Each structure stands twice: as structure tokens, then as C-alpha cells.
Amino acid sequence: MNRSASPRTRTHRARAAILGAGLCLLPIACSKPAPPPPSGAGSRAVSAVSPSANGPTGWIASAGAEHWLSPTAAFALDPDQSLLPGLAPEGMHVGFETIVTIEHSGRYRFGAEVEGGAATLSLQPPAGPARQSALKPGDNLSWSDWVQLDTGYVAVSISFTRDGNAKARLRPLWEMAPAGADGFRAEPIPSRLARVPAAAEADTAKAQQVARGRLLLGQLGCVNCHDAPGGATAERAAPNLADIAQRAGAAWMLKWISVPQLMNPGCGMPDVVGDSPEAIAEAQAIVAFLESLAPATDWPAPATEDAVLTAGKTLYESIGCIACHGAPVSKNNTEWSPRVPFGDLTGKWNPAALAAYLREPHLNRPSGRMPSLLLTEQESDQLATYLAHEWGPGSGERPDSTPEQVAQGRAAFTSRGCVNCHDLGDLTPGADIKPLSGLDDTAGCLNPDDALTPRYAISAEDAEALRAAIKIISTWDSTFPAPLDHAALAIESLNCIACHEWHEQGGVSPAIRDKFETQNDVDLGDEGRLPPRLAGVGWKLTSQWLIQVLGDGARARPYMNARMPVFASPHAPALVDELAQTDGVWPGSDAREPESNDRMVQAGLKLVGDGGLNCIACHAFADKPPVGLPGPNIAQFGERLRYDWFKRYIHAPPRFKPGTRMPSFFLTGQSPITTVLAGDTDKQTDAMWDYFSLGELFMPTPEGVMAEGGMALQVKDRPMVLRTFLKGVGSRGIAIGFPRACTSATTPPPRASPTPGPASFSTPPGPGRGGEGTSSVARGQPSGQRRRARSSLPASNPPSGATPRRPTTEATSSTRMVPPPSCPASAR
């Protein structure tokens, strides 16, 4: 069966603890411990074929002396691109190893799509010989032979040697026979079933350490001072200080310049000035200098109305802020450690400036790490009010300053090195600072006793990671563009994993999951309220859609409260292509799409409508919402999805989206709709794709797309009664529509009290579209007594809607309950 079964511990997601107090960065790939081997007909786990007990999912990759972690062993490289910055593209030779979990005994085969090089695949089951096969280059898939594997593990390794500097691509796949019953069709090996071998633990630890160090080099801004080769890290520009004095309170600035590591341990701003008595004067001078850069501005008193604060708090907790930042006051994060805690922000923000910043964060922070959540003006005001209230108010008061102080401050700004990170245009960097390669890694910032260099609160472990990274970078003679490497750095530095699970790491912390909700409480489970997993996103989504998502606010899940931000980061545009390359597909490409003709499009149209697979029951179509639980919009499929992904996904959705509500229509290998294209699932898949490809402008409306407006009831010439939830009346309301007048509503005895009712009322059609009449909680007390009050309602069977004794084929109208036009306006 194509169920994604897994051994018992899968649901216990142990999150690794943060190393060091309050560090804002998680080490990469600290995911849950390996499951015990699935017990089967004897546990035959041999030490060579066992996964690392605490290691990460994915593959361990090696080239020369360097090792790194690859989630899928897939890649797609243009000429002159490499897998690592320091690895020459020409004749690149790389090996990947992993332990794959076999969940069901059966016949398997492994293979890969290979381009631009020669590859060898090796399989080592727990018992028996290893099998090797050469995978030939070319567009076609290359497979090993079928092999019988039992539940347990199998070691897989692939080595690849590039043909000169050619375009090179590798995408490992696997398949289990027979498809449709227990087996599955060819698909990329899911990273959740791949884990680094126990034998490679040392290399893995080293790789993780280097990766951590390289990340820190960017996050802590080391490379802003120490020149590093391109690609060494993902650079991070520091905030723009040209108008800081208009945003931040002077008292806070003074403190921040002095002891930032005390206020926000582990953040990217080092202690430079310190808080000794001599240092205070220097700090004040720097503040004076900064204030001289920007004229005074209004500092409005923050609003204090409960309604605004509540609205701000609701926004903060529901649209996603909380996932990166945690609680506004950092010490309130008791159950988890967010990656970007605020630290001490008491008195920092000018509320008006904060609201403006939230709307356009890239103006102040060119690094783009703080993205825009497409807030309206009202929303940013509410958020700013709430945050300012939580942090504590500041004031726009500026201390007096003298021109000497300003000059002193300007000098200090250069001499202390502030200008290396905080570019101010007209100031040039001062001191002669060594480049990163060949740096003495026991001196300077990494020497705990050297007070003359910037002080970062780095743990011993992180210091070792930095040293390891510097060592590796120092070995790079020349550097080359390495798209996958850059993508991995970007995903961590832009903090995607605070919300999105990326190959078993990250995702919304369990401590705050309950804050993530859907609009109108649609019952979609986690699929509807948590941001989607990103594994395979480059394979699934088109480049043109990803660009819109990252840069333009395009959304596929309007029912989710959490918002996908828009990233103005310099790393974001490249990420679109890099995500595809990480999945081993050429950016902007797709598998050869099926031939489209009228017959196929018509077949696809029928399948999508309510005479076929009834996709429209759940998936919205253009601007028409679905009746049931909402799914992404059909009209967007052609522009969003890649055919290569769709044709695999549709056959077994739970394999690609564990826990999805999407049914497996083709579970048995046969389509339930036998009358379209003779029930052939491949042809039906192609037909649906041909229909999607027409795009929103040209695709005809599927049959059965629901009329809007719920189901209003129309009164004709006899009164009509409806029991329903009625706003303002209760959950046991009786609404009565009279032909000449309007509705009135009453609760059943004993509290019968007729009240004027709404002009029209309807039954909610489905859970996603709460109709009118959802009332507030009515607390009925359970009664053990007899309740057989006789109802005095008249027989209410208006002929409208009731069928005559003879079946008819003509209906005049569907049942409605709306006052006829003759109803006087005042009575409504």
C-alpha cells in the first residue's frame, strides 16, 4: 500500500536543545534520533548498514577532503557551477552515501536521471553482496536491477564524475513493485527515509560543524570586516543607520552601543565600546553623531485602547511573527527558544516609525532577513501598538550634544569599526583588517581575552565551528558559484525553517503550534493551518510561481492565517533557481508535457467536475469557493505546478504530503471513473493536466461549480419555518417567514419571545463557509425531566418546493427564503 508507514518513534519529534543560552541560531540538521530498526523476520541490522543513531536525515556527500550534507543527493549544475565554492567544476567527482529505510518487504529498484557525467550506484543490503550498477548519462532514466529487500535498511551510495565542465545533473529515484498495491511508482527517494550511515558519523559531525561555522560567519557579520571569498557564507548587511535617531530612543541607543550582548545574547551586534566609565563618554558621542544625521521627528504616544492591543496581539500570534520571534518579551519564552528573539527593546521604538518599518522593513534592513508580511496600514498600527506596549514605552527626548561630541562620535564610528558593518556612504573603513583566509583563529574576536576586538557571546562549540569553517575556506584556492550550497545557507539565514519544515528539520515549534489556525475554523487539520513542508518544492513548483511567492505575495492557501512573507533579501531571487537545482531539475523546465487536444481537454474538464473525480468539491475554481474543505485553486494549477510532480503526486498523494486529506483516487491502479478514457489513470492524469494548462483565462468552468450565497430560502404564498442557528436569538431558533412580511424568530418554549429577525437567512453550506446565523454560545442545561411540550406550530408545508404527486422535469426555482419584493422596506 502506498501508506507512509514508519516505525514507532516517528511521531515523537524531539527537537534538539539550543546550544548555549539564548543563541539565536540553531545548528543545522539537529533532528530527531533515528528510529530503531523495524522488526521483521529477524532484525538483521549489520553495523555497516545501520543509520546514525542521532544523525540527520539525508545523505553524506564527499568530494576530496570535504564533506557536506545533502538532503536528496540530487543536483543540477550549469557549466562553471559546482557543489561547493572551493570545488573545481571541471571534472568534479563526488560521492553520496545514505541508509534508506525499507518499510515494506518487496521488490525494489534504484536508479537516477543522469546528465553530463558518469555515475555508479551501489546497493548494500544487510545480508548478501553489494550490487553495483553503472548509470548511463542521458535524459532517460537509468535503473539498477530489481532486488528483493526486506523491511529494515539498505545502504545506498552513488558516485558521480562530471564530464569536464558540462551541464551536470543527478536525481536518484526508486520504485517498488507492484505499483498500486503495496508498491509505488518511480519517485525521488524521500529524505525522511534516508539517514546518514553510522559509519559516517565523524564525517557528518565535521560537515555539520563547518556548515554551522560558515553560517555564523555571515550571521555575525564576520565577513563584513574580514574579506572572504565569494560564496563563503550568506552575507548579512547590518541595519541602515542614516535615520536611526528618528526610529530609536536615545537612552536605548546608548545602552545598545555599550552592551548589546547583554541585551540580546548571541545577536549579530558585538560588544565594542563596553560599559566602563571611559566608554560611556564614547558611547554618548556616537549617539550624538547618529542623532546629527537625522532631524528630530514626531514621537507620538502609543495608543492604549484594549481593542487595538488585542488586535495587535492576535495578529502577532496568528500571521507568523511568533514563529521567528517568539514572545515579544524574550524571557516569556519558557518552552522553546525562537531563532530571532527580540532581546531587550524597552524604550527603543518610535511607535510611528515601528509601524512604518513593519510595512517596509527592507528600507531599514537591507539584509532582507526581516521580510514584509504585506501588512495594511491598520494592521501595522495595531502591531506596532501592541509591541511598543509589550516592550515598554520610550521617548523622543534627545540629550543635548556639542559639536565636539559629534566629531568625536564620527571618529569613533570609524575607528571602532562600526562603519564596516553599518555603511554610511561617506565614511570610509579605517583600520587594516586581515582577510578571512589564513586568519589566526585563536586571535582577535576568537580570543576571549582580547578586549580590543569586537566581543561576541559565542559558545565554545560555536567558536570551534568558526575555526573549522575558517580552516576550510582557507584551503579554497579559487571559488566557484555553488547554487545548492548557497540555497542551504540562504534557507537557514532567511529563517525559512522557522515556519517550514525542510527535510525533517525546522517547522513551527510545537510550543506555538496552537496559534496557527485557519480562517473560519475549516477542518483541514495541520495541512490547513501549518505552512507546507518545503522538501521537493523545486520539483513541485514552477520557477515563475516561486518568484511570485518570494517576491510578490502570491499565495495558494488563502484559508491559512499564517502569511507567507515577501523577501527583499538579495539572496531571494537566486533562491528560486537554486531550489530547483537542489531537487535535481533544471530551473524553468518541466518533463515533456502530454500532447494536448480537444478530446483530452474535454476529458480533463469532465474529470475535474462533479461528474468525474469531483475535484471542485474541495478545490476552489477561479473566484468560486468550494463547497467543502478548501484546497488550492484549480485555476492556478497550470501556472504553479510542474507536470513532472503532478503526474507522480496524483497517484499517491500521502507519499508526497504525509497526512494529507487529498484522497488517493488511483489507489488500486484503476480510476473510479471508468467512463473517461476507459479508466486509464495515466491518460486521465494527462487529460487533467491538459485542462489545467489552459490557464485561468481559457479554462472552461467545470460542471458543478457551486452557486454562491449558501442556500437562501424563498417564501412564496405560504409561511415557511426553519429551525436554525440564529444570531442574536440562539442555537435553537425557529425562524418563520411570512409571505407578506418578513421573518421573525423565536426560541422554543419556555422562553418564547418573538423578535424581529433578519431579512433573509440561510443554512451554512459547509464548514468552510460559516453561514449567517452562527450564534453565540447558548448554554442549555441538560434536563433530566420530561420535555414533551407540544408544539403549536401550524402545519407548514408551502407548496413551493414540495413535489406534486407526479414527478416533473421542470422546476420553477430551487427553494429560497427571501421576502418577496412586495415586502415593505421598513418591515425588514
Partner 1 sequence: MNRAAEFAVIAVLAASPALAQEIGFGDVPYEKLATREATEQSMMTKLARQMDVEWGPWYLLSPFPGNDSDGSLVRPLPPEDELPRMAAGGPGPDLTRVYEGKSGLTPKWTELGPDDDRAVDLRVFNDEELNTNAIAFLYRTVTAPASGKFDLAMGSDDGLEFWLNGRLLVQADQPRSMDPEAHHIALDLQKGVNHILCKVSQGNGSWEYLLNRRHELNPFDDAKLQACLNRDFPTPEQPFYTLETIPIPNDIVLEVGGLAALADGRLGVSTRRGDIYFVDYNGTSGGSIFAPIYSRFASGLHEALGLAARTEQGRQVLYAVQRGELTRLVDLDGDDRCDVYEAYCDSWGVSGNYHEFAFGPKFDAEGNAWVSLNVGFCGSLGKSIAPYRGWIGKVTPRGEFIPIADGARSPNGIGILPTGEVFYVDNQGDYVGTNRMSLVAPGLWEGHPSSLRWRDGLAGFAKEPQRQRATIWFPYQKMGQSTADITVDSTAGKFGPFAGQIFVGDQMNAAVYRVTLEKIGDIWQGACYPFRAGGDCGVNRIVFDAEGSMLIGETDRGWGSMGRKRYGIQRIKWTGKTPFEIHTMSAVPGGFELQFTQDIDTKSAADPASYAMTSYTYEYHQTYGSDEMETQRPTITGAAVVGPRTVRLTVAGLRSGGEGFVHELHAEGVRDATGAPLLHAAAYYTLQKAPG
Of the pair 460, 778, the CB lying nearest partner 1 is at 778
Among 478, 753, 812, 826, binds partner 1 (CB under 8 A): 812
Burial call 201-238: b when 16+ CB within 10 Å, e when fewer? bebbebbbbbbbbbbbbbbbbbbbbbebbebbbbbbbb
Among 172, 188, 260, 765, binds partner 1 (CB under 8 A): 765
Which pairing describes strands 147-149 and 75-77: parallel, antiparallel, or unpaired?
Answer: unpaired
Q: How far apart are CA 335 and CA 18, in angstroms?
A: 12
Of the pair 217, 676, the CB lying nearest partner 1 is at 676
Q: Which stretch binds partner 1 (CB under 8 A): 191-199, 381-389, 498-506, 792-800?
A: 792-800
Of the pair 387, 736, the CB lying nearest partner 1 is at 736
Subset of residues 223 to 252 that bind partner 1, contact rule: CB under 8 A: none
Q: Minimum distance from CB of 42 to partner 1 (Å)?
A: 11
Q: Minimum distance from CB of 557 to partner 1 (Å)?
A: 15
C-alpha distances out from residue 708 to 379, 520, 526, 657, 711, Å: 29, 17, 27, 30, 8
Torsion of CA 550, 350, 238, 547, to 10 degrees: 10
Of the pair 547, 662, the CB lying nearest partner 1 is at 662
Subset of residues 635 to 674 that bind partner 1, contact rule: CB under 8 A: 654, 658-659, 663-665, 667, 672, 674
In the structure grid, which three cell numbers stand for residue 819, read together? 421576502
Subset of residues 64 to 123 that bind partner 1, contact rule: CB under 8 A: 103-105
Subset of residues 30 to 49 that bind partner 1, contact rule: CB under 8 A: 38-41
Strand, coil or helix: what is 521? helix
Give the DSSP letter string of 450-511: -TTS-B----HHHHHHHHHHHHHHHT-SS----HHHHHHHHHHHTTGGGTSEETTEE-S-GG
Subset of residues 574 to 593 that bind partner 1, contact rule: CB under 8 A: none
Q: Minimum distance from CB of 105 to partner 1 (Å)?
A: 6
Among 65, 202, 307, 777, binds partner 1 (CB under 8 A): 777
Of the pair 1, 294, the CB lying nearest partner 1 is at 1
Q: Which stretch binds partner 1 (CB under 8 A): 476-484, 576-584, 687-695, 707-715?
A: 707-715
Task: By CB under 8 A, tell whether 360 contacts partner 1.
Answer: no
Subset of residues 714 to 743 that bind partner 1, contact rule: CB under 8 A: 714, 720-725, 731-732, 734
Subset of residues 483 to 502 that bind partner 1, contact rule: CB under 8 A: none
Of the pair 339, 816, the CB lying nearest partner 1 is at 816
Instruction: Label residue 336 exposed, middle or buried (CB < 10 Å: 0-12, 13-18, 19+).
Output: middle
Q: Minimum distance from CB of 304 to partner 1 (Å)?
A: 30
Subset of residues 175 to 214 that bind partner 1, contact rule: CB under 8 A: none
Of the pair 449, 698, the CB lying nearest partner 1 is at 698
CA-based torsion, 142, 145, 151, 152: positive or negative: negative
Of the pair 122, 815, the CB lying nearest partner 1 is at 815
Contact 170, 158 (CB under 8 A): yes
C-alpha distances out from residue 349 to 380, 531, 685, 731, Å: 14, 30, 55, 47
Binding track, positions 511-550, relative to partner 1; x by CB under 8 A: ---x--xx--x-xxxx-xx---------------------
Beta bridge partners of 173: 111, 188
Q: Directed axis angle between helix 377-391 and helix 306-318, to 10°? A: 100
Among 396, 444, 551, 611, binds partner 1 (CB under 8 A): 611
Of the pair 331, 787, the CB lying nearest partner 1 is at 787
Within 8 A by CB and 6+ apart from 582, the residues are: 71, 72, 74, 75, 483, 484, 487, 488, 538
CA atoms within 13 A on the CB side of 526: 15
